[in-house]
Structure formats: C-alpha cells, structure tokens
Amino acid sequence: MKLETRKDEIINTAAKLFKEKGYSAVTMRDLATAMGMKAASLYNHINSKQDILKAIIISIAEEFTSGMSIIIDSEVSNINKLKKIVTLHVNITSHNTNGMASLNNDWMHLEDQLDYYLQLRNEYETNFLKIIKEGVLSSEVKNSNPEIIMFSMLTTLRSLYLWIPKKEDLSANDLANSLSQVLIDGINN
C-alpha cells in the first residue's frame, strides 16, 4: 500500500467535484482551486482532463469485471451468486463513492475509452442476466421477467454511491445483508 501520490490526490479531488457537478461542469480551474494551486500546475501531474475521467472510471469498471469473474466461477447456488453481487457492489462503492458517481453519470464523456467501457459494461450485464436466468431455470428464482429483475437490482446497486455516504453508521456487511434481503426476499409480509 503505497502512499498517495500527488496525482492520486488530484484524481480523488476531481472525483469529488465530478460527483457534485458532473464532469462537464467542473473546470480545470475549479479543480486547481480545490487542490490549492493554479490550473496550469495540474499538468505537471496529469496529461489532460480526459485522462482524469478515464483514470476514475476504467479502474472501477475493471474492478467490477474481475469481481464478477470470481462470482461466476464460484460453486454456489444462483441465489448466493446474486448475494455475492450485492456484496461486490457494496464493497466497491464503499471505498470509492465519488468515483462511482462518475462511472454512472459521466461515462459518455470517455471518448477514446468509451468503446472499452461499454464492452466491460455489456459483459457484466450479460453475466448478471445469465445468473438470473439460470436461477429461474433451477426454480431458485421466481419466474418473473429476468430483465426486469436485473434492471431492478442493478439500478439499486448502481445508486449506492448516493446512499452510502449518508449512512456511515451502517457497516458494509450489514448493508449488504439488509439489501440482499430486500432485493431478494422482497418487502411483502
């Protein structure tokens, strides 16, 4: 665990600002002010505004990809795979709430890396859907529209970044458990 470099500080500060106003509304001068320096000085550490966005989004997207890959290979029931997905989202989001905002809202500004990002996202959703469909086949999962199930779960999980910072009292574990219960068992008594 290396110390946080100046470049990392800039990227983390940028992620925070991007979360508040969105990528396009944050200027390099905004970022510089937040860092306590002048805009031109940022370029001693980063190549471009684009590159900051890329650094924020791609690393998280790859975390999800490798996390999903481990879940796919794990030998547990499909319901338990879904629970693992919930935990994956809670964990990744917990240690990078700001970055998750950019991933959700600013991916379309990626330019060079857009295709790569879309590919990762597509693969992720395909794997997610496959688990649900297999769960339906094995009667673990109710026979509802699998795409609606995925949509419902995934949108909730993708919005965790909005919610986790407001509920810091809740441990990641507790949240993952409660959320799994609500998402999987429903709320009807």
Partner DNA sequence: TCACTAAACTAACAAGTGTTAGTTAAAAGT
Partner DNA sequence: ACTTTTAACTAACACTTGTTAGTTTAGTGA
Residues contributing to the site for a second copy (CB under 8 A): 20-25, 79, 105-106, 108-109, 132, 135, 139-145, 147-149, 151-152, 155-156, 158-159, 162-163, 167, 175, 178-179, 181-189
* Other beta carbons within 10 Å of 81: 22
Candidates 21, 44, 151, 182; binder of DNA (CB under 7 A) is 44
6 binds DNA, rule: CB under 7 A: yes
Rounded (5°) CA angle 149-171-62: 55
Cβ neighbours, 10 Å, residue 34:
14
Kindly indicate which of the ranges 36-44, 56-64, 77-85, 171-179 contains the residues binding DNA, using the contact rule CB under 7 A.
Answer: 36-44
Orientation of helix 49-73 relative to helix 78-94, angle to 10°:
150
The answer to whether residues 16 and 35 touch, using CB atoms and an 8 Å cutoff, is no
By CB under 7 A, which span of 24-32, 72-80, 113-121, 181-189 interacts with DNA?
24-32
Q: Which residues bind DNA (CB under 7 A)?
A: 6, 26-29, 32, 37-41, 43-45, 48-50
